[in-house]
Amino acid sequence: MSRTNVKLLEPFDLNGLSLRNRVVMSPMTRARAGKERIPTAIMSEYYAQRASAGLIITEATTISARANGWNESPGIYTEAMIGGWRQVVSLVHAQGGKIFLQLWHCGRVSHSSFHGGEPAVAPSAIKINADYIRTPNGQEPHETPRALRTDEIPGLIEDYRRAAERAKAAGFDGVEIHAAGGYLLDTFLQSKTNHRTDLYGGSIENRYRLLEQVVQAVSKVWTASRVGVKLSPNIGMNDTGSPDFREQYTFVAKQLDRFGLAYLHIMDGLAFGSHELGQPMTLAKFRQVFHGALIGNCGYTQEMAETAIAEGHADMISFGRPFISNPDLVERFTQGWPLAPMSDMNVWYSPTGVKGYTDFSTYKV
């Protein structure tokens, strides 16, 4: 089949993993895991409702207690967490779906109240320039993080490797390494947030080093063909955006191309706004340097997704917000049914149980 005849709703072979369509459910933090951060029964229902997606990528899931920075987001660092995720995976698989776990470290997008009074960690001691962060104690000002010591980095990499092992124990089909959005790995990549003078800072090559070592460690647990990486070159989320973003992310994509990854997941859309440091990097640019599967993300409509795939710029497209109020998003795309209105943002991240989470209806003909 020629690339120009490929459609969003047709199957895709992801390195031997058969996906029934090219619609990906994007990671979305929903804060329903409770204070113990153990995936719950309603989380299982939520993902199972959306299992008609070709691939589900879970909400960002912390690799260790030190990685936390969101209230009631899930983790993957205890046996109980493995058990909770195992129930999620089982229900998704029962519906014929495929699901990857996204591995997350919040980095400086955290607060000492998450860590017993200890500061959050980051590549450098640079505070986020934003109004506040939601903490266990309510809204509080951002704090200056502590720069990770060089001798702590092997332990951090081991946390990623062990989280990958636990994801495998839970039955996932693969994992995605979260290196986007201004969280820990992304801040190591960026010159704005990484002012280190050791092997993990300074040059473009050095700023990439931690991500490379994390990919290497995770690929010892999973074959690299079941490991994805997410990048966000164009957005200024969590006070990011570096003048040399084009050079940095082009280099990163070229280096990641050597691994034979499952995919590269690129936030190329501008639905969250741009850091306005020049023309955004496009999927077409990434296609020139990365030869594996590409997933486009952020603000796509069905028509935009079809065009991106038909023109050969993407192999899959991930959808976030439309999946919240449209659990049957794939069926609506298939039948040409209208999408349900955007849900109330006030319940997106609040621990309100089923309200605004699993209580959305499928389309009634």
Tens of pLDDT along 63-109?
Answer: 999 999 999 999 999 999 999 999 999 999 999 999 999 999 999 99
Residue 166, pLDDT above cutoff 80:
yes
Q: Which of 183, 208, 300, 357 is catalytic?
A: 183
Q: H/E element holding 350?
A: none
Q: What is the DSSP letter of 61?
A: E
Residue 237, pLDDT above cutoff 70:
yes
Instruction: Please give the pLDDT value at position 2.
Output: 38
Indicate the pLDDT class of residue 352, thresholds 50, 70 and 90. Answer: low
**Spatial contact of 11 and 18, defined as CB atoms under 8 Å apart:** yes
Residue 263, pLDDT above cutoff 80:
yes
pLDDT tens digits along 176-222: 999 999 999 999 999 999 999 999 999 999 999 999 999 999 999 99
Compute the C-alpha angle 9/97/22, nearest 5°: 25
Model's pTM, two decimal places?
0.96
Chain-centre distance for alpha carbon 347:
20
pLDDT tens digits along 214-223: 999 999 999 9
Both tokens of residue 149? 């010591």
- Look at phi and psi of residue 8 and say left if phi exceeds 0, alpha if psi is from -120 to 50, else beta: alpha
Instruction: Please give the pLDDT value at position 358.
Output: 95
Pairing of strands 263-267, 316-319: unpaired
> Is 357 a known active-site residue?
no
CATH code, residues 3-340: 3.20.20.70
Cα 211 from Cα 189, distance rounded (Å): 8
Both tokens of residue 270? 């501008």
Cα 276 from Cα 243, distance rounded (Å): 10
pLDDT tens digits along 107-160: 999 999 999 999 999 999 999 999 899 999 999 999 999 999 999 999 999 999
